[in-house]
Structures are given as structure tokens and as C-alpha cells.
Amino acid sequence: MTEPFAKRGEMDQGVLRFAWYSLVLVAKGYTLALVIGTPLGFLLGLSKLFAKGFDPLIQILRPVSPLAWLPLGLVLFEKSAPAALFTIAICAMWPTVLNTAMGVRAIPQDYLNVARVLKLSGPQRLFKILLPATLPYMFTGFRLSLGIAWLVIVAVEMLTGAPGIGGFLWQEYNSLIYEHIILCIVTIGVIGFVLDLGMSMVERRFRTA
């Protein structure tokens, strides 16, 4: 409690040290979610056929609880760390996918006409028109995704017992140290808030329109 960064043993570390492990895992899973989710969103937004085919699948996968994905991840990867990554990525990517797709569909016809009249090449069209026009929607998705990733990590760690803020929380519950449970909850809340704040700052930095 008084030494938040101390490391005394595998499951005997300071709360912020545990939180740091969780953050690293979240960062990896979140990156994976964005790397998969953004192009997927673009495809969904650009192609009506693709959207029609994939929308039902997405609507079914989206509401699945993180706790349901984790066992599948454990079966597939046989280790808790990649399973956690898998769970974070697959739960966190939906807001990015859906918002990006919505943003692409919301691009004013005017801009697309400009691209056609000026005969822009594929990459020019993507980087000068599609991407900047979609950016505000994408960031809304990114922000929601980050929130979900942080929610998921706690649940995942409670199940896997891996060293992290969620694992620590569960361990302290088992050790009946209630004040540490409260400490964990507060820490999780504050970190979530800081993450969201950081994201909105990045969003403002990249504001296009």
C-alpha cells in the first residue's frame, strides 16, 4: 500500500506495478484491435456487399461477453497471455469497426465527386479524402474501444490469475483484505479516466474538420 511500485514476489507487488502489467497487456490487445478493426471498418463502409454479408455476423459477435471469449482463447493458444490478448482484441474492436464503417458511409458525396473529377489515384483518395473525412468517427471508435479494453483486462485477469490489477484484486478478495479491494477499484477507475482523457487529447490533436 505504501510502496506502490515494490516487487517482493510474483503475486506480492505494489498496486501500481500490477496496474502497469495490465496496461502493457491492454496496449498490446488494443493495438491488435485497431490494426484489425480499422481496415475491417473501411471495408464495411466502402462495400455494400461486404457490409450486407458481415453485418449479421458482427451483430452476433458484438454482444458476446469477454468472459465467454476467454475459454476459447485458452483452448486456442494454451497460454493465458495470448488468450488475454485475443479476448481484449476481439471485444474491443467492435466500436472501432462500426464507427469507422459509419464514418466512411457518412463521407459527403461532394468529397467523393471531387475525387472522381480530379481523377485521384487509390492511395490519394484514401489518404487525402477517405481517411481525413473518417477520422473523427474513427476516434470515437478508438475511444470506446480503449474503454472496453480496460474493462476486459480486469475480468480476464481475475479468471487467469495472471499478475496484474485484476489478478491482484481477486487475490486480495481471497486473502480477505478488503481495503485492498477498494484500493484496486479506485486505481482501476482512475486509470480508466486517465486513459480516456489521454485519448480525447490525441483526438483533439488530430481534429480534421
Q: Which is nearer to another protein, 58 or 120 (CB)?
A: 120
- 31, exposed or middle or buried, with CB in 10 Å at 0-12, 13-18, 19+? middle
d(Cα 56, Cα 62) in Å, to the nearest integer? 10
Asked if 122 interacts with another protein (CB under 8 A), we say no
> 9 or 108: whose CB is closer to another protein?
108
Which of 47, 82, 128, 183 binds another protein (CB under 8 A)? It is 128
User: Is residue 121 at the binding interface for another protein, with CB under 8 A as the rule?
Assistant: yes
In whole angstroms, how close is the CB of 24 to another protein at the nearest point?
A: 33
Cα–Cα–Cα angle for 21, 23, 185, rounded to 5 degrees:
90
Q: Write the DSSP symbol of residue 139.
A: H
Q: Could you tell me the CA-to-CA distances from 165 to 8, 78, 113, 141, 160 in Å, in that order?
A: 16, 22, 51, 25, 12
**The only residue of 1, 64, 118, 186 in contact with another protein, by rule CB under 8 A:** 118
Instruction: CB nearer to another protein: give 135 or 184.
Output: 135
The alpha-helical segments, DSSP class H, found in the chain are 15-46, 48-61, 66-77, 80-105, 109-117, 122-124, 131-160, 165-174, 178-205
| Contact letters for another protein, residues 34-73 (x by CB under 8 A) | ----------------------------------------
Least CB distance to another protein at residue 131 (A): 9
Report if residue 113 touches another protein, rule: CB under 8 A: yes
Minimum CB–partner distance for residue 37 and another protein (Å): 22
**What gap in Å lies between CA 200 and CA 209, rounded to an integer?**
15
By C-beta, is 52 or 116 nearer to another protein?
116
Grid cell listed for 159: 479468471
**Minimum distance between the CB of residue 119 and another protein, rounded to whole angstroms?**
5
Name the minimum Å distance from CB 198 to another protein: 23
Among 4, 132, 161, 192, binds another protein (CB under 8 A): 132
What are the distances in angstroms from CA 30 to CA 15, 25, 93, 130, 145?
Answer: 22, 8, 8, 23, 7
CB of 206 to another protein, least distance (A): 10
- The span from the CA of 64 to the CA of 25, in Å, is 21
Residues that bind another protein (CB under 8 A): 110-111, 113-114, 116-121, 124, 128-129, 132, 208-209
